[in-house]
């Protein structure tokens, strides 16, 4: 089985401390404010990836899903060429002391599923 086919058998993540070019092109990058206050909206920004992923009819990012922990918050579908796999979505978390993580999962039509995450602490 080639490496490319193996990518479709799992949710791929950055492995180790030196991400490969493949990992850096595909892993969603999530930006949130340093301080999050319970009950107040803040912007969650997601892009794929740390370095630009191809955006062509033959090779593109099809969608991104956003979760807080295991709770699904949204899904964003893209078309090739005409849209860029970057989103900004306002989110409010109601529980002070919540210690969880935002997870974004994206799908590349050629290289499968990729997950990025960032820890969140609500004050």
The residue number with the shortest CB distance to Fe ion is: 108
Interstrand relation of 11-12 and 99-108 (parallel, antiparallel or unpaired): unpaired
| Sign, Cα dihedral of 25, 103, 108, 6 | positive
Minimum CB separation from Fe ion for residue 93, in Å?
31
Task: Tell me the CA distances in angstroms from 7 to 75, 81, 83, 112, one per residue in order.
Answer: 21, 23, 24, 6
Minimum CB separation from Fe ion for residue 114, in Å?
9
Nearer to Fe ion, 110 or 123 (CB): 110
Minimum CB separation from Fe ion for residue 17, in Å?
22
Question: What are the two backbone dihedrals, phi and then psi, of residue 24, each rounded to the nearest 5 degrees?
Answer: -70, -25
Nearer to Fe ion, 53 or 103 (CB): 53
Query: Contact positions toward Fe ion, by CB under 5 A?
Result: 108, 110-111
């Amino acid at each position: 089985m080639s490496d490319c086919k193996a990518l479709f058998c799992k949710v791929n993540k950055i492995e180790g401390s030196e991400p490969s070019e493949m990992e850096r092109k595909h892993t969603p990058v999530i930006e949130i404010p340093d301080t999050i206050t319970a009950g107040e909206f803040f912007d969650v920004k997601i892009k794929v990836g740390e370095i630009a992923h191809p955006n062509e009819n033959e090779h593109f990012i099809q969608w991104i899903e956003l979760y807080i922990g295991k709770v699904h918050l949204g899904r964003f579908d893209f078309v090739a060429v005409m849209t860029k796999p970057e989103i900004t979505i306002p989110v409010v978390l109601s529980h002070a002391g919540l210690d969880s993580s935002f997870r974004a999962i994206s799908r590349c039509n050629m290289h499968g599923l990729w997950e990025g995450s960032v820890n969140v602490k609500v004050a």
